[in-house]
Chain A
Amino acid sequence: MLAAGAGLAGLFGGAWAAEQGLVVATITGGVGGGLMMAITCMMVNFVYVFGMGIPAASGKVLNDPITGDSQKEFKSQGTEGHGLPFVSFVGGVIGGFLGGAGGTIIYLQLLTLYEATLPAVMSMRPEQVMPIAVAAAGIFAVGLFLVNAVLTAYNITGTIEGPHDPKFKRWPRAIVASAVASALCGFLAILIVAM
């Protein structure tokens, strides 16, 4: 769910900066996605720490890999950890950045393709086609993003804490699955103007 959210947030950021070239738009999209994750993670800790008085503690590792803080004393017995330890926050922001940047690249590539080909396909003037190209590229990008987000969620089957979680070792499988699914969906998205 958060992967889809970060991708969509990044997509909005990237679409806003689409005029300024691939590099600027991709970085803007990445920052949008990362920012969304950072705000979400921070609000979670606000609610946990100040609202309920629960310290953030990981149940998967003894010490936080980045800060080195020990986790065990703060973890309630019978739980798998609670709140968002620093490493989860950093992992989430990096993931959000990558997700947002990826979503923006999909959108920009499809937009460039549709802007170039739709006037001929629909026999309309380029300026008339612009809103249609934006809508179609946006819809395909969101569709692609939902598929990718769900497949990666299926890979970890349930929950994951961050890059320190043992389940994180499964990521090569997710890359293969996402690559195949994205290639398939991207191919269909190109077919709409190519045939």
Chain B
Amino acid sequence: MSVKIEVIEGGIPHQKIMIGGLVGTLVCLYLTYLNVLTNTEMFAFFGGLAMVIALIWGSHTIKVLCSYGIGTGVPSAGMIAFGSGVIAMVLATKPVFGMAAPIVATVLAALVGFILGYISNNILNMKIPAMVQALTEMAIVGALSLMGFAALMTGGFTFAGLTTGSVSMLGLSISSTANSFIGGALSVAHLLPLHSCWELSQSSTRSTQLSDLAGNRTGCLC
């Protein structure tokens, strides 16, 4: 696993996508707060945009991780992103944090992701140079895309809104928690099959378009 097989070539540099993804997601998440200020619900769609931006960023992170020949670890990367992301995200929606929720989610997810990355690199001996950074980023992506999805459905990012609200989906009334969980899992886990099947040397356009599509599709389901 420690052998670097091929570095990704072409496309936009990862640093740029990472910064753009983080800033774009946070800005879009905060734009949903206009709901509270103007007392409407129509700004909830910014949550969906936040999710799409986070997914594009996540897809590129997975691409970086894949370029080390991780193979069977590709689907796992999405699972660990979802697992660590959902824990950080639910904790960040605590009423104590209030408006700071997206930033708290980012910090918590980064912390969890960093520790998990350290564990897999040093204790489990994966020895992949990009592992710690990639797992940190994936945890943030997981947390923010789930939060964006929650904001898309409930119009905000509070624990009360997430747990007590319910969304009508295909004629069924499903609680928002369950819905954001299912939808988030669908979109985050979607990154993986998309990424296991493409080649490393090609430019990032196709994979980013695919993850864009995955995000849009789950958004439309609501």
Are these two chains actual partners, yes or no?
yes
**Interface of A with B (CB < 8 Å)?**
1, 4, 122, 131-132, 135-136, 139-140, 142-147, 149-151, 153-155, 157-159, 173-174, 176-177, 180-181, 184-185, 188-189, 191-192, 195
Known: A153-B73, A154-B120, A173-B123. A147 touches B80 (CB 8 A): yes
Is B76 interfacial (CB-CB < 8 Å)? yes
Residue B201 is within 8 A (CB to CB) of chain A in the complex: no
**Chain A, Cβ-Cβ closest to B71:** A158
Interface centre among A135, A146, A158, A180, by most chain B C-beta atoms within 10 angstroms, is A146
Task: Scan B142-172; emit 1 where CB is below 8 A from any A CB, else 0.
Answer: 0000000000000000011001100000000
Task: Please give me the residue from chain B that is nearest to A129 by CB atom.
Answer: B163
Cα of A1 to Cα of B80 in the assembled complex, Å:
11
In contact, A153 and B87 (Cβ under 8 angstroms) = no
A149 CA / B1 CA spacing, docked (Å)? 19
Query: Given the known A-B contacts A135-B175, A158-B72, are A189 and B87 also in contact in the complex, defined by CB atoms under 8 Å?
Result: yes
Please judge, given known A-B contacts A132-B163, A173-B125, A189-B87, whether A147 and B177 are in contact too, CB under 8 Å: no
In the bound complex, residues from chain A placing their C-beta under 8 Å from that of B76 are 1, 149-150, 153-154
A94 CA to B34 CA in the complex, in Å? 53
CB-defined A-B contacts under 8 Å, sample of 21: A132-B177, A135-B175, A135-B177, A136-B177, A139-B86, A140-B87, A143-B82, A143-B85, A147-B116, A149-B79, A150-B80, A150-B83, A154-B120, A173-B123, A173-B124, A177-B123, A181-B116, A185-B83, A188-B112, A189-B87, A189-B91
Cβ contact of B86, chosen from A143, A154, A157, A173, cutoff 8 A: A143
List B contacts of A132 (CB < 8 A): 163-164, 177
Residues of A within 8 A of B80 (CB): 146-147, 150-151
Q: How would you classify the secondary structure of chain B's contact residues: helix, strand, loop or mixed?
A: helix
Q: Which of A131, A135, A142, A177 contacts B119 (CB 8 A)?
A: A177
B119 touches A180 (CB 8 A): yes
From 82 to 130 in chain B, residues with beta carbon under 8 angstroms from any chain A beta carbon are: 82-88, 90-91, 94, 96, 108, 112, 115-116, 119-120, 123-126
Taking a contact as CB atoms under 8 Å apart, the answer to whether A177 and B86 are in contact is: no
> Which chain A residues lie closer than 8 Å to B85 at the CB level?
143
- Contact yes or no, A154 B126, CB < 8 A: yes
Contacts of A142 in B (CB 8 A): 83, 86, 181
A4 to B178, CA, bound (A): 18
Q: Is the CB of B126 within 8 A of A144?
A: no
- CB pair B87–A185 under 8 Å, yes or no, is yes
> Does the CB pair A143–B87 fall under 8 Å?
yes
Taken together as a complex, chains A and B put the C-alpha atoms of A136 and B175 apart, in Å, by 12
| B24, CB-defined interface residue at 8 Å | no
Chain A hits for B77, CB < 8 A: 150
Task: Kindly list 13 other residue pairs between chains A and B, CB separation below 8 angstroms, not including A132-B164, A151-B124, A153-B72.
Answer: A4-B79, A122-B163, A132-B163, A136-B163, A142-B181, A147-B83, A154-B126, A157-B72, A158-B72, A173-B124, A181-B115, A184-B115, A185-B112
Q: In the bound complex, how far is the Cα of B184 from the Cα of A139, in angstroms?
A: 12
Flag if A188 contacts B175 (CB, 8 Å): no
| A131 CB contacts on chain B under 8 angstroms | 175
Report the Cα distance A132→B89, complex, angstroms. Answer: 16
C-alpha spacing A192/B93, complex, angstroms: 9
**Using Cβ atoms and an 8 Å threshold, which residues of chain A touch B120?**
151, 154, 177
Closest 6 A-B residue pairs measured CB to CB? A146-B83, A150-B80, A147-B83, A150-B76, A135-B177, A143-B86
CB distance from B81 to the nearest CB of A (A): 9
Cβ < 8 Å to A, chain B residues 164-222: 164, 175, 177-178, 181
Q: Which residues of B contact A173 (CB under 8 A)?
A: 123-125
Check B87–A188 contact: CB distance below 8 A.
yes
Contact in complex: A195, B126 (CB < 8 Å): no
- Cβ contacts under 8 Å, B126 to chain A: 154, 157
